[in-house]
Amino acid sequence: MTETQTPAPAATAAEAPEEHEGHGNTGAAALALAALGVVFGDIGTSPLYALRTVFTIDNGVVKNTPEDVYGVISVMFWSVTIVVSIKYVTVLMRADNNGEGGVMALAALARRLYSKRTGKAAIFLVIGIVGVSLFYGDSVITPAISVLSAVEGLGTALPSIGHLVVPIAAVILIMLFLVQRFGTGKVGNLFGPVMLLWFAVLAAAGIPWIIRRPEVLQGLSPTWAVAFVISHPGTTFVAMGAVVLVITGAEALYADMGHFGRTAIRRAWFFVVFPGLLINYLGQAAIVLEQPNGRSDPFFLMLPSWAQLPMVVLATAATVIASQAVISGAFSLTRQAVQLGLLPPLTVHQTSKREGGQIYLPAVNLLLFIGVMAIMLAFRSSASLATAYGVSVTGALVTDSLLLLLVVKPLWEWRMWKIVLAAVVFGGLELVFLSANLSKIIHGGWVPLLIALAVITMMTTWRRGRQLVTEERQVKEGSLRDFIAKVNAKQVPRVDGVAVFPHPNKETTPLALRANVEHNRVMHHRVIIVSVVTGNVPHVPARKSFTRDDLGFADDGVEHLTVKFGFSDDQNLPQALHAACRMGVIDVTPAQLRDASYFVSRGSLRSSTKPGMLRWRKRLFIGLAHNAADPSERFGLPRRNTVTMGSDIEI
């Protein structure tokens, strides 16, 4: 028996995520501009509704007095500084998993760091599932609240058509989800310039009001936040439920790090986004101080009447971009969850020949569309949705902080005082946010929690169901060594050609191989059993992708090949086999591979009284399995050369 691991001539781009950032000032500027269009859409559109929600929450419990205004601005400024600028941009973005970020990548990094401690590794997977589930709640609410908040500007600019806000928003969202199948490649180049214009306009709108009321700059002092908390603890707690809206989208900074690199995102944040947001919030604070009705819609009211309608158009474009970023993020996280075995295989369409991250998942797109439309039609205003928004956002923040605190010691060898300080500063603030939003559960906060619960149920059911199916299949499959011995003893006829059998291991016999021999009474001269392994890293370079084992059956033409993918890689088996052929890992010719037959093992699932899972979860698992993508699509197998065979499996 021999086992070889293949060499490769060069590393892939995934091994050097920051490499593309050193191509000069022009390249760095282009990356920063691209990051503006993808990364900052969510947090960049928060000025549309964040400050308004703070001053209208609970029928205006926060007053437009100087003390309250300065206190709110101070709390908002320091929340953005601590959570976004320090935690995400400065600290958390250093904790990359082979260049990738996001809660799933962070959970995978934690699992790798604690791989020798099985119990802890399982805990990280659970935390990752919770974080991803909360992100789905965010993905449903973000398009609805963002587009609604922009279109609601029509009520300020043109009060006579204010009743058309919801229908117009619905049309925009329908168009947004319809164009997902075409990918973002053709319009992606417009995103960056549009968002650059957006942040420039945010600053331009706020500057005149800051000049008019320069005293609002006092709000940047932390003393006003402390005074606000001490003098109005109850009001502060209520306000924190809305202040969290200024940091919505912070997770996107980390999740999209693999696309642009940390340097481009940091430059865009500190030089464009943060200043634009800060100036606009200060301008809104000034109009709240000056005008009694300023709290009703400070974003649009601080604009001259002639500029309000053009701002509605620009804001709508910005919110569509924000929604696009969240939808694309849901596609990416779903693919990662599928690769890690947390969701059933889904049909994935690659919408770009150059960018692997540009994908389209029809099932996810449809479910998101249904959820977004249902929520928008149920709540009908961004103010109502704001109460539901905070729970998923704060839950995701706390999840990231928890994982961060768990990895800093093995990753950076932080001392205990640093860990405690980070827990107090980051965790303390975010737990206050979470507590304030949990008090809003009955007013809509139950929506993202319900979505998260549904996703958690699906993920845990699918994971457990796969374990039961694997156990049952191993019994039916039997030993591969015994099977080959019987084939040789019976002198089963061999036919020309190469047969490829995707199979999870090299110990048992693929059901399709067993069925082919039993029913067709033949076996191919060359049999390649291929096991796909998904690693805890986003991408696996070619030199580490393949491990060959002749299983001791070299003379019988049977061999096993392990193909390792990252959880963000496209699992295309024919392409992987051709790569293995070129590298000399498998002893077949490209012509033989082109004519190879692929045999997929797939049998009907049946629910039984066997222990291991509740009956309703078994039915859910079988339903998920029936709606899963065909393995031939998942692995990119050629349909004309693919045969599905197997037997029934009871769980």
Cα atoms in the 13 Å half-sphere on the side-chain side of 596: 27
Tokens representing 48 are 């549309």
Query: What spatial distance separates the first Cα and last Cα of the chain, rounded to whole Å?
Result: 35
In DSSP notation, 547-561 reads: EEE-TT-GGGTEEEE
**Largest Cα span, the chain:** 94
CA dist 578 → 237, 255, 383, 505 (Å): 60, 32, 55, 21
Q: In DSSP terms, which residues pair with 558 in a beta bridge? A: 527
CA distance 6 to 185: 35
CA distance 276 to 298: 16
Q: Which amino acid is at 442?
A: I
The residues near 504 (Cβ < 8 Å, ≥ 6 apart) are 470, 531, 532
In the chain, which residues fall in CATH 1.20.1740.10?
24-444
CA distance 326 to 371: 14
Q: In DSSP terms, which residues pair with 183 in a beta bridge? A: none
CA 461 to chain centre: 20
Tell me if 127 sits within 8 A of 107, measured CB to CB: yes
Average pLDDT across each block of 10 residues of the chain; the chain has 651 residues. List them in order.
37 35 56 81 89 84 90 96 95 82 82 71 81 86 87 81 87 89 63 91 96 95 94 89 88 76 89 96 94 86 90 89 81 81 82 61 91 91 79 87 90 93 94 86 84 92 89 83 88 91 89 88 91 80 86 81 84 91 88 91 81 90 86 85 81 81
CA 215 to chain centre: 41
CA distance 374 to 173: 12
DSSP structural state of residue 629: P
Which CATH number fits the domain 24-444, given the four candidates 1.10.3720.10, 2.40.110.10, 1.20.1740.10, 1.10.390.10?
1.20.1740.10
- Which pLDDT value is given to residue 189? 63
Q: How many CB atoms lie within 10 A of CB 643?
A: 15
Q: In DSSP terms, which residues pair with 649 in a beta bridge? A: 605
Phi-psi region of 249 (alpha: psi -120 to 50; beta: other; left: phi over 0): left
Global pTM?
Answer: 0.77
Tell me if 501 sits within 8 A of 599, measured CB to CB: yes
DSSP structural state of residue 178: H
Tell me if 359 sits within 8 A of 350, measured CB to CB: yes
Q: Which amino acid is at 561?
A: L
CA distance 605 to 650: 6
- Which pLDDT value is given to residue 9? 33
- Which pLDDT value is given to residue 12? 33
